[in-house]
Amino acid sequence: FRLKECSVRRRYSDFEWLRKELERDSKIVVPSLPSKAWQRQVPAFLRRDDGIFEDEFIEERRKGLEQFINKVAGHPLAQNERSLHVFLQDTTIDHDKYVPGKVRNS
């Protein structure tokens, strides 16, 4: 990685993008993501909303996304994927300019 430390903000859709890129380009079994909204599986007449803004749901999903990225970032083969580098180090992900590939160690 070109940066020793970095901090980025990511949306759930960014995690979906990373997972899709890794599935297409790498030779690893990519872990699944936590569900997008757990209460969506409950029939509509039993719920007020889909639960995506409830603190408990947000915290559980954050933990699941953290586990996902820790597993991926800890995998030696994934560490060479450009998509992981972009995800972890670029402030924004420009899907139009992104070019898949491997990152050479320097």
Q: pTM for this one?
A: 0.78
Residue 48's pLDDT is 59
Give the mean pLDDT of 80-102: 90
Residue 86, pLDDT > 90, answer: yes
Rounded to whole angstroms, how far apart are CA atoms 24 and 18? 10
Q: Classify domain 12-89 at the CATH topology level.
A: PX Domain (3.30.1520)
Residue 16's pLDDT is 95
Residue 26, pLDDT > 70, answer: yes
Least-confidence region, from 47-61, 70-84, 85-99: 47-61
Residue 50's pLDDT is 54
Residue 17's pLDDT is 95
Q: Are 12 and 37 in contact (CB under 8 A)?
A: no
Percentage helix, strand, coil for the chain under 3-state DSSP, each rounded to 5? 50, 0, 50
SS in 3 state form for 12-53? HHHHHHHHHHHHHHCCCCCCCCCCCCHHHHCCHHHCCCCCCC
Q: Are 21 and 83 in contact (CB under 8 A)?
A: yes
